[in-house]
Amino acid sequence: MKKTAFTTSETAWCPGCGNYSILETLTGVLNQMETPPHQVVLVGGIGQAAKANQYISANGFSGLHGRSLPAAVAIKIANDDLTVIVNTGDGDSYGEGGNHFLHNIRRNVDITHFVHDNQIYGLTKGQPSPTSDPCDLSHKINACNMGATFNPLLIAIAVGATFVARSFSGDKEHLAEIMQAAIKHPGYALVDILQPCVSFNKKNTFAYYKQRVKPLDPTYDATNKLAAMEKAMEFGDTIPIGILYQEQALTYKEKRPELFDAVPLIDKLVNLEDVQALIHRYI
């Protein structure tokens, strides 16, 4: 195995799954970067999407369902030299991990979060996810939301995300471009990637997305927060894809200059004399 290249291995996904093109695109993007595989940590929770890190030759952290974000931010806090990328699904990110989604956006740790959003639970075979379409009682589909549909992009912008984008697994070129920008972004970057679940989602199919996705107009201003929120609410006959919102803000690390500098936390020396001096303060 060539150590400097990212390679993929055999997967356990269904034939035709949208995950394949995401995996392929991500591998391509990683190979274009200067960072070698041993400096990249791919983090996942549980679910079909979360298996992505099993199939790329990088460091891999396959954690618990819904809990990938707390682990990912801590990995980055511990060693800032690592590039940390999360791949999980909509159920993992927005359902089981909803609380972590809200609060890790607020931390603005420099990690990248790719949500493989197929608007359904795949691994458990077809239950509705937070992003499933609302139920239409006249046209009953198997997996729909009786309650309101969760809008991840709108919520992300609302709680202070500094990079919010959407892409589509069927447009590899667009996806690669967005992935690159997301990884490059200093701070937390969310990319909601629409992907068809060929086995269970009979509504939001490849053709369905293909017909509706529409790249943002080149004149679109991604720094206008209110306009971005409005754009994030567009999800119907047309689905905007691209970077909906981006701002330059202080990252977690930059807000704590007393603790974080050029030396990553892991490489900082433990000074027992300092500890003993602190102990003596209790005399």
Partner 1 sequence: MYNILLGGAAGDGIETMSALLEKMLKQSGCHLFTIRDFMSRVRGGHNFTQIRFGNTLLHAHRDSLDGIFAIDETTYREHQSQLSDDGFILCDESLSIDDHRALKLPLKAVAKELGNPKVISSVAIGALLKIFDFSLEYAADTLKNNLRADLVEINLSALHRGFDLTKPRFGLKSALTSDYLLLSGNTAIGLGALAAGIKFYSAYPMSPSTTLLDFFSTHGDKMNVAAEQAEDEIAAINMAIGASYAGVPAMTGTSGGGFSLMVEALGFTGIAEIPLVVVDVQRPGPATGFPTRTEQSDLKFVISASQGEFPRMVIAVKDHTDCFYQTARSFALANKYQIPVILLSDQYLADSTTTIPILDASKIISAPTTAAGDLDENDRYRRYALTKSGISPLAIPGKTEALVRIDSDEHDEYGQITESADIRNKMVEKRMAKLELLKEELIEPEFWGAHQCQSLLVGFGSTSGAIKEAVDLLNAKENHYGALIFGDIYPLPTKRLKHFASQVVEIINIEQNATGQLASLIREEALLCCNHSILKYDGRQLSVDDILTGIKNLKGGF
Nearer to partner 1, 75 or 175 (CB): 75
> Contact at 8 Å (CB) between 157 and 164?
yes
Candidates 70-78, 138-146, 190-198, 230-238; binding stretch for partner 1 (CB under 8 A)? 70-78
Secondary structure E strands in the chain: 40-44, 59-62, 83-89, 112-117, 163-168, 189-194, 213-215, 239-246
Q: What is the dihedral of CA 239, 56, 33, 39, to 10 degrees?
A: 120
Minimum distance of partner 1 from residue 33's CB (angstroms): 15
Per CB under 8 A, 81 contacts partner 1:
yes
Q: Decide: is 63 part of the binding site for partner 1 (CB under 8 A).
A: yes
Q: Least CB distance from residue 66 to partner 1, whole Å? A: 8
Q: Select from 21-29, 54-62, 190-198, 210-218 the region that touches partner 1 (CB under 8 A).
A: 54-62
Are the CB atoms for 217 and 144 separated by under 8 Å? no
Please tell me whether residue 46 binds partner 1 under the rule CB under 8 A: yes
Residues 83, 34 contacting (CB under 8 angstroms): no
Q: Which residue has the tokens 């791949």?
A: 87
Residues, the chain: 283
Question: What is the C-alpha to C-alpha distance for residues 134 and 149, in angstroms, rounded to an integer?
Answer: 6
Q: Which of 184, 214, 225, 268 binds partner 1 (CB under 8 A)?
A: 268
Binding of residue 160 to partner 1 (CB under 8 A): no
**Alpha carbon separation from 215 to 39, 91, 116, 166, 226 (Å, rounded):** 32, 25, 18, 9, 19
Under the binding rule (CB under 8 A), the answer on residue 10 touching partner 1 is no
159 touches partner 1 by CB under 8 A: no
Report yes or no: 98 and 132 within 8 Å, Cβ to Cβ.
no
Write down the least CB distance from residue 24 to partner 1, Å.
19
Catalog residues that contact partner 1 under the rule CB under 8 A. 1, 3, 12, 36-39, 41, 43, 46, 51, 54, 57-64, 67, 70-75, 77-79, 81-82, 99-100, 102-103, 256, 258-259, 265-266, 268-270, 272, 274-276, 278-280, 282-283
